[in-house]
Amino acid sequence: MATGDLPADFLHDPGEQLNNLYLVVNNVEGISPGAYFYDRQTGSLQLLKAGNFRGNAGYLGLEQELPADASVDVFFLADLHDILERFGNRGYRAVQLEAGILGGRLYLSAYAQRLGATGLTFYDDDVVRFFSPHAKGKSAIFLVALGKSALQK
């Protein structure tokens, strides 16, 4: 799985990861549109709020069309306070490295299925507010938009 274990010297426990995955699902077969948290422990999605959030996704992705048009947007969020306390300054590099590698895996998985993928920038604080209260205290790290564009369907 694209978000599976990452062999890294800064991760000590199997399955441990620094980033949490939050999704805006726009058009995925078998999943209702909404905002979700991916629970790695159970391998399941937790619905945070139901509804059509294409407009929100576009806004969060610096008011670009790509995240609004994507089938799903995957936001990487992390508790930087805890990470920096645990790892010192290396923690910021570690969380960015992990997000980049996991994001790269998502790209490859999407491309293997003849779907699109792109990394984007975002409004950091607004991303956290959108996924709160679940994401309270976390920082936005990375965003990957996946799938076929709504314009291509």
- In a domain, residue 90? The reply is yes
- Total number of domains in the chain: 1
Tell me, what's the pLDDT at 41?
85
CATH number of the domain where residue 39 is located: 3.40.109.10
- In a domain, residue 5? The reply is no
Residue 19: pLDDT over 60:
yes
- Helices 80-87 and 90-112 pack at an angle, to 10 degrees, of 120
Beta strands in the chain (DSSP E): 20-25, 34-39, 44-50, 72-78, 117-120, 139-146
Confidence of residue 17 (pLDDT cuts 50, 70, 90): confident
Single pTM value for the model = 0.90
Domain holding 25, by residue range, is 20-152
Confidence of residue 150 (pLDDT cuts 50, 70, 90): low
- Encode pLDDT of 44-101 as tens digits: 999 999 999 999 999 999 999 999 999 999 999 999 999 999 989 999 999 999 999 9
